[in-house]
Structure 1
Amino acid sequence: MTTMLPYMMIAAGAALWGLIAIFVRGLSEYGFTAMEIVTIRVITASLLLIIIGLIRYRSEMKVKVRDTYLFIGTGILSIVFFNWSYFTTINEMNVSLAVILLYTSPAFVTILSYIFLKEPLHMKKVFAVIGTIFGCVLIAGVSVGEANNVTMLGIVIGLCSGLGYALYSIFGKFALRKYEPFTVTLFTFVVAALFLLPVTRIWEKGALLQPEVIGHAIGLGLFPTVIAFILYTKGLEKVESSKAGIIATVEPLVATFLSVFLYHESLTIFQIIGSVFILSSVLIVNFPIKMKKHRTVT
């Protein structure tokens, strides 16, 4: 059970990420742009993490200045870039397709982990990468030709969200060599917040103080952000980045389930096939079927 705990934590964190569209769409209805929603997310998460840190993790609330680049990587190159790309994609097309494009990330993680973290590149991983890309090509090709609400720009931005998502696992793995999971999560969001505040000037937004907006902001900062990232980062301590990216495909299952039942969205048969192809390809890496040899007693 103990050996499975890191995998379960990653899966739980990813499942919470699947709830994100609820809060993104809620804030979009009040006129917030994708980048403003990212800002709301990281600021709310930063405040919640600082409160949690002051109560329980005071010794883990400091880092060395020379290690700032690690949190620029997790905070700006990953969180800011990935969130902006993902939220923009959600508003460009339906939630299910946005999530599926986000989940080209295992392909990016596997390749980047091999190059920078020297993680082994087994044939199963290679097939998973090929399968993921093939599934996305199938979805994108059909969508551009047949769906009115999908554009090539949306697909490109969706793929960028996959790359940005992957970068968290890479930079996060380096950061975890020096710091605890809470420290990595805290400074990831603090750096992201400090970067975005002057960029978006979110304090000038009049709707920010409306009760419904505050509720969505707290929900976005807490469930699919603080809790999700703490769980994922803690699990990442003991799991290869490439495997963590694969386990996290729990998210599209949750998000797709929600999109069907909350937003009454639907997928074409080809898009469903592409989705199944992606999920099957990436999951097989972590859940291989092992053939046991049985002795015949004579």
Structure 2
Amino acid sequence: MNQNIKGICFTVVGGCCWGMSGVMGKYLFDAKDLTATWLVTVRLLGAGITMLLFLYQFKGKSIFFVWKRKDSAISQMIFGIIGMAMCQMTFFLAIQESNPGTATVIQYSAPILIMVLFAFVEKRFPKKEEVFVLIIVVIGIFLLATHGSVKNLVITHAALFWGLLSAGAFAVYNVQPRKLIQEFGTLETVGWGMLIGGILVTPFTKVWNVPGHWDIVTVSMTIGVVFLGTIVSFSCYLHGISMLGPVQGSMLGCVEPLVATILSATVLGQAFGMIDVVGILCIVGAVTALTVVDA
């Protein structure tokens, strides 16, 4: 198996695991009465501690270097609060209020927010193709949220709010930690971000008050969200990106909303009409096109 095929396999597996974790989370919310805030807190703490312990076995005390300088420590804290805690909390709240497919697709509009942000920072007007892509994404979100009628919101206000907020937080996740990753490494940055985010939200989510109905299925699904949907997905996706490069990797990343949508319909029985499909295709297609244009 050559390097390119390996990279594709790793990237696709990572995206599939992310899509599956959203579906498992929705099942836990609906069937087992768990809450998004509790599940995300456990996910952040569990995955963060596991990743850092794993890294410590190979890199030792070097994983603590990020905390030796004020600027890097502040940057790591910001990433933990917004890039990890806020990003995952709003995403799972959007899933809780709607379904994994809709929440994932709305969050997938984050590259458009990044495009607008960079145009603002660089003090330039967006390019024609960027404006076109932005319009298509807005149309896609409009179709998903209203089915084409301005008087009809087919998802709850809370679902739309959390979904758009998760897209903003995901944009921060993609842009803010670049210097940290370059200097200290991807897994270290993500591991500390998860642990810090989990610690900071714990007093508010009161993780010690365990909700829901617990049995072997609840335990298995929770472990799946923490490890399959976090550790395995991040490791595979980032390893695949390192082999393929960011352009091809980002294009393959569209497997996540597709998997989430398909599993939502087939496993959870969520109904998706033709207008929903058109909206999903608008967003996924436009973001993929933007990746190609930027390349």
- Range into which the TM-score falls when normalised by the shorter chain: 0.7 to 0.9
Q: Is 2:268 aligned against 1:263?
A: yes
Fraction of identical pairs, as percent: 19
Alpha-carbon distance in 2 for matches of 1:282, 1:129:
9
Match of 1:47 among 46, 49, 53: 49
Residues 133 and 147 from structure 1, CA distance in 2 versus in 1: closer, same or farther, beyond 3 angstroms?
closer
What are the Cα deviations for residues 129-175 of structure 1, in whole angstroms up to 9, with x where unaligned? 33212211222232775576x22232122111111112111123232
The yes-or-no answer on 1:105 pairing with 2:128 is no
Shift of 1:18: 0.6
Choose the corresponding residue for 2:190, options 185, 188, 208.
185
Shift in alpha-carbon separation, 1:252–1:41, aligned structure 2, 3 A: same
* Structure-1 separation of matches of 2:266 and 2:276: 18
Query: Deviation string for 1:188-237 (max 9, x for gaps)?
Result: 11111211222222123266975444322221111111122234445379
Q: 2:164 & 2:237 partners in 1: Cα distance?
A: 21
CA distance 1:208–1:199, change in 2 (3 Å): farther
Does the 8 A contact of 1:10 with 1:236 survive in 2?
no
Number of the residue aligned with 1:93: 98
Corresponding position of 2:15: 14
Aligned counterparts of 2:55 and 2:244: Cα–Cα separation in 1: 23
> What is the alpha-carbon distance in structure 2 between the residues aligned to residue 143 and residue 203 of structure 1?
43
Classify 1:113/1:8 alpha carbon distance in 2 versus 1 (closer, same or farther; 3 Å): farther
Task: Kindly indicate whether residue 36 of structure 2 is the aligned counterpart of residue 34 of structure 1.
Answer: yes
CA deviations 1:45-93 (Å, max 9, x no partner) are 0232133223334355222342122222322112221222222221222
Match of 1:78 among 73, 80, 83: 83
Which deviates more from structure 2 when the two are superposed, residues 60-69 or residues 248-257? 60-69
Q: Which amino acid aligns with 1:49?
A: M
1:64 maps onto 2:67 in alignment: yes
Contact 1:53/1:60 (<8 A) preserved = no
Tell me the amino acid that sits aligned with residue 19 of structure 2.
G
Determine the C-alpha separation between the residues in 1 that align with 2:250 and 2:102: 18
1:19 and 1:198 map into 2 onto residues whose CA distance is 28
Quickly say closer, same or farther: Cα 1:26–1:152, change in 2 above 3 A. closer
* 1:281 aligned partner, one-letter code: A
Structure 2 residue aligned with 1:205, among 196, 207, 210?
210
CA–CA separation in structure 2 for the residues paired with 1:189 and 1:23 = 20
Alignment-derived partner of residue 170 in structure 2: 165
**Aligned residue-pair number:** 286
Provide the C-alpha distance between the structure 1 equivalents of 2:119 and 2:105, rounded to a whole number of angstroms. 23
TM-score, length-scaled by structure 2:
0.81
Query: How much does 1:113 deviate?
Result: 4.7
Structure 2 vs 1, CA of residues 209 and 267 (structure 1 numbering), >3 Å: closer, same or farther? closer
Q: Distance in 2 between matches of 1:87 and 1:136?
A: 18
Q: Write the mapping of 1:223-262 to structure 2, written as runs, cut at 5 A.
A: 223-233=228-238, 235=241, 247-262=252-267
Separation in 2, partners of 1:32, 1:273: 32
C-alpha distance 259-193 of structure 1, shift in aligned 2 (>3 A):
same
Contact 1:60 1:183 in 2 (8 A): no
**Residue 227 of structure 2 is aligned to residue 222 of structure 1:** yes
Q: 1:192 to 1:3 in 2, by over 3 A?
A: same
**CA-atom RMSD in angstroms:** 3.4
Residues 13 and 232 in structure 1, CA contact (< 8 A), matched pair in contact too: yes
Asked whether 1:132 is paired with 2:137, we answer: yes
Q: 1:208 to 1:195 in 2, by over 3 A?
A: farther
Give a deviation string over 1:2-48, Cα, whole Å, max 9, x none.
Answer: 57877775554333211122321243233322111110111110232
Rounded Cα–Cα distance in structure 2 between residues aligned with 1:86 and 1:154: 9
Q: Indicate if the aligned counterparts of 2:87 and 2:173 stay in contact, CA closer than 8 A.
A: no
Indicate yes or no: 2:278 matched with 1:277: no
Q: Is the 8 A contact 1:86 1:157 kept in 2?
A: yes
